[in-house]
Structure 1
């Protein structure tokens, strides 16, 4: 099975641990990792671990861009690089051992020109597979409706678009009528709607509105330790979180998406894919830094999640 992933604003993900974090003073760290990062690339990493094939479409430039290319090769990921003039960003996650808290730093990324993002769309039109996963933030210079343009490109070649973004990337991506599945976090859904969404019923209503409007066929809302919710024309499935001792939250949402698309590409129905996505998200939380989810943990949590009972009834 083969999919394509798109990362408009990728990053080199740097992570390490420090005993304590203080201002001004130099601090020593250990367990340093460098991984290729950004939403679509993270999805591809997990999808390939599960046994699928993913081609990464991404924009990169500068010295950091060359290093990102190398990291993708180290991870043995098929790649289609769209060169840009700007410098690829570096994101940092620091785990403070004394408090067991994680600190994450990221920048807005390089500015992308019109010719560069148009080149990306042209390359993506040649992508193979039944699914195109558009994941991550939009870089400066990329239009708000870029992910909607991606969905139209996918539709022209009979592929389904899976969207996982935030802010203008999420809003613009849902402005058209081409998204098969969208996976906002609860915070992202609140920002999109402008409503507090303080209980399950209002969350379900907000997600159902997106389905009725034709913005997406399926809406999977991740709610961290409170579980997740899947809404589509058939109704609402609300499941509790899988209990896990958290090591890092980096890439949990990307792993969730990877699990869902892997199950869908394997021919499983949307409800099964949703449960498998939750298992992948929980598995990612187990691993430190930017390690993401591993198959053995996903399968173990998938067995637990298979017997999880829905919470409540909404509609």
Structure 2
């Protein structure tokens, strides 16, 4: 895209709209974001003549019409060559990292406003995402800075400011203003939301989450599974089964969709014990996030070697299977207060 008023801070805002705009097409289905999104084209749509180029035409038209104030020119290129896609993916990941790094100095306590995101309500009508400086949207693609920029672009859009007013529980993270906003924008179905725990009134989940955080009661801790992992987990369910259970705008204590970077946040479920509660994570995700997790563990006083105390699928895929590993490693979750 090109525009005389276009700014680098607006790029992730427009990028996330690809999800929204693609789903305008009949027979088209787009979910998730960044480099892990899925797109499906129905057989009926293909039979009626729909081709890849038409995705480009949809995006071209919608970006020009909805962002005319900042976008003057649009060009859409769809790559299908695997090697070229991998090359472009690495370029994109560099931008993702740059965006994530901007948030490192921001703190929830230093701002008086969080932001909403209701972009996914076409899939999950009762879901309201609340984005804080230390908690990226569960899709992983909308940060507090992105939501702030989106509101500046379109004050009537899906990202709205929510003042932090009427603190009800500072530990669990509950404010009256957030409860009121979520209630009024969830078809009056979600009355209370805690932002620093998943055990009581957790934030709702749509279907675009990068990961799912779930309790493992046998181990007195939590597990996390990412969208790319297809195997079984200690919850007794795969990612797909879990997603079908907790998605759609449901509020389910002990389960919640999250963005990957939230695992490294100082505000990672602090009321539940924080990162020290994490007992299982897929090996590929653990290695991918190792620098982030090691830094977060050191900052939390858990020690850099904490990451190696977290079990993965090579150890086991049930609470019973991983318990001996956790005991051998001296995992801190085993000595914390009971989750339930």
TM-score, shorter chain, exceeding 0.5: no
Q: Which has the larger radius of gyration?
A: 2
Query: TM-score normalised to the size of structure 2?
Result: 0.27
| Higher strand fraction (1 or 2) | 1
| Higher helix fraction (1 or 2) | 2
